[in-house]
């Protein structure tokens, strides 16, 4: 089973920005919920309001639609989310790329700083060794 561990990942950002929009949620059991997304969490739990519920696996009435005021859906039960098309026009992908580029740049600076510190420590050790052996410094 795959879990999204980065709370700032694109799927979670997209899911979170769907709040206050009409979405469709399909569960692993095949049940369908369509309603206004009220709340989301990092583990993809969600709360919907004004929900239309359909259970295509119901042998007696597979097309029966039930209206519900509110539902809470556990994220681990979600198979599929259908989000609004208008979210694809958001600049979140550009922002995500900028964030990733900034993070890479920060990591490179830290690695360079560590490399310089290691080189300085190496030079200091060599100086101490030369001093203890009474060798001329270079």
pLDDT tens digit sequence for 52-97: 999 988 888 878 899 999 999 999 999 999 988 766 666 656 666 7
Asked whether the predicted pLDDT for residue 18 surpasses 90, the reply is no
CATH code 3.40.50.2020 for 10-90: no
Higher pLDDT, 95 or 35: 35
Q: Kindly indicate the confidence band of residue 136, based on its pLDDT and cuts at 50, 70 and 90.
A: low
101: its two tokens: 């580029």
Residue 78: which of 12, 6, 10, 7 has the closest Cα?
A: 12
**Whole-model pTM above 0.75?**
no
- The residue among 96 and 30 whose pLDDT is bigger is 30
Beta-strand (E) ranges in 1-138? 22-27, 32-40, 46-54, 65-73, 78-82
């Amino acid at each position: 089973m795959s879990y999204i561990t980065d709370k700032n990942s694109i799927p979670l950002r997209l899911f979170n920005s769907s709040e206050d929009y009409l979405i469709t949620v399909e569960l692993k059991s095949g049940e369908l919920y369509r309603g206004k997304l009220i709340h989301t969490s990092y583990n993809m739990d969600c709360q919907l309001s004004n929900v239309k519920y359909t259970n295509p696996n119901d042998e007696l009435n597979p097309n029966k639609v039930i209206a519900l005021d509110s539902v809470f859906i556990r994220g681990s039960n979600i198979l599929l989310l259908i989000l609004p098309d208008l979210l694809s026009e958001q600049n979140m992908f550009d922002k995500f790329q900028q964030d990733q580029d900034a993070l890479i740049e920060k990591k490179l600076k830290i690695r360079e700083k560590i490399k310089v510190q290691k080189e300085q420590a190496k030079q200091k050790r060599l100086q101490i060794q030369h001093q203890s052996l009474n060798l001329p410094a270079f």
